[in-house]
Amino acid sequence: MRGAESSYAFMNPLPFVEDKGPEDHEMLGQRLGVRTCIFTGENRVDGPAAASRPEGASAPGPIIEMGTFNSLTPEDEFEMGVWYAQVRLPALAHMPGCVGARKLVSSAGWAKHGILYEFVSADALENFRSSLPGISKGGGPAVEWSVRVVRRLLHAPGSPTMAARLWPPA
């Protein structure tokens, strides 16, 4: 993952096809299941652990989960947008161990949407995964709505992907 102020920074030259040296080709050749997208930020929220980011850096949290997906219909897309705006992102602002989340849209690549969740630890990420953040565990309309929205998204193979930040060191 790389970052820039604008997605156009990755269009001139296109860094994924420009001529690379033998060492780059060797390292890139070791990747499996590569999916390339160029995303731009649509919205973001800071969590309670946002202060754990390196000072002055826009680096993600030490542990990230990246999901990439498309909607199946325009109606699903509107409902997904409402869900992120009203449920998912506001809940992450209060989720213990959450550094932040970034909702992304694609300038190029298969996936139209991306979500980058940032956490202080793998345990905090696992707690997030198991809790449906911001939604009562007793069930009810909010849980049913969230499950319905997520099930109607077409995720990329292997999505979501969990990783540890390499630089700056966590």
Q: What is the pLDDT of residue 136?
A: 44
- The full set of domains in the chain, from first to last, is 7-164 (3.30.70.100)
Q: Which residues have C-beta within 8 Å of that of residue 100, sequence separation ≥ 6?
A: 44, 45, 46, 47, 50, 53, 60, 61, 92, 118
Helices H, strands E: what count in the chain? Answer: 5, 6
Per-residue pLDDT at 16: 57
Q: Taking the C-alpha atoms of 78, 158, 39 and 163 in order, what is their torsion angle to the nearest 10 degrees?
A: 120
pLDDT value of position 12: 74
Looking only at the bridges linking them, the beta strands covering 113-119 and 63-71 are antiparallel
**Separation of alpha carbons 114 and 160, rounded Å:** 10
Q: What tokens does 52 get?
A: 């754990």
pLDDT, mean of residues 44-65: 86
- pLDDT tens per residue, range 92-148: 999 999 999 999 999 888 899 999 999 999 999 998 887 754 444 455 556 676 777
pLDDT at 19: 57
Q: What is the pTM of this model?
A: 0.80
pLDDT in tens, 22-54: 777 777 777 776 777 888 899 999 999 999 887
